Structure 1
Amino acid sequence: MNARILSLLVLAGMACATQAADINAGKLKAEQVCVTCHNADGNSTNPQYPVLAGQHDDYLAQVLHDYKTGVRKNAVMADIVKPLSKADISNLAAWFASQQSVLNMKR
């Protein structure tokens, strides 16, 4: 098999393995899991909790993964993210990234 065909097969396999985030599923999960502290749209009104709206999705996914694996320490967040699947994390990250942050709005 030549290198070009092999490269195309590898790329095709990667494309199949990569699942696009479902923003609507992220919204539903945020309404179930995140709303109490961060609000459903990620614009927390309590300075104790960070604003998630408008953050980069890869950053949000990494932070959630780090809480889940214990790399990042917070007892409350560790318990909250424990039951989340990879798809849940991806969907939540996409949802919050798609929201307009109050931090970027002109007052």
Structure 2
Amino acid sequence: MKRAITLFTFGAFLALSTSQVFAAGDVERGKTKVATCVACHGQDGNAIDPQYPRLAGQYASYLSRALHEYRDGGRDNAIMKGFAAALSDQDIDDVSAYFSSLPTKLDGLEHHIQGN
């Protein structure tokens, strides 16, 4: 019984401490880091020009992964690679949290992808 309590306590401690290590980005800090992003993606994350993705309302984990891939070479886009190169892991988490917190204006893909 004592071992079960010890394991449960350790598991609870591990779960709580791990959530701090993998904490999501901060929306307010992200808002202060998007000055270069809004030129293409819009102040509200809803780009008007269909050649630029709408970031508002996207999953933070998706945005974070995309930015990491641009920064680390997993995605090949010279412009985004240049912007992402200047971002720390925390910056990426914060920017991703900010854009994911915004309401999207994307109802469908009509007029937002080539050929439609």
With normalisation by structure 2, the TM-score equals 0.79
* SS state at 1:102 partner: coil
* Counterpart-to-counterpart distance in 1, 2:9 and 2:91: 34
Indicate if the aligned counterparts of 1:27 and 1:40 stay in contact, CA closer than 8 A. no
With normalisation by structure 1, the TM-score equals 0.85
How many residue pairs end up in the alignment?
Answer: 104
Q: Which has the higher helix share?
A: 1
Point out where structure 2 has 5 or more consecutive residues left out of the alignment: 109-116
Structure 1's consecutive aligned runs of 4 or more residues displaced over 3 angstroms after TM superposition are none
> Cα RMSD (Å) of the superposition?
1.8
1:57 counterpart residue number: 60
Between the two proteins, what is the percent identity of the paired residues? Answer: 37
2:85 to 59, 82, 90: 82
Point out where structure 1 has 5 or more consecutive residues left out of the alignment: none
The alpha carbon displacement at 1:40 in A equals 2.0
The alpha carbon displacement at 1:22 in A equals 1.2
Which structure 2 residues correspond to residues 1-107 of structure 1 after superposition, within 5 A?
Answer: 2-30=6-34, 32-104=35-107
Name the amino acid aligned to 2:54: V
* Counterpart-to-counterpart distance in 2, 1:44 and 1:12: 38
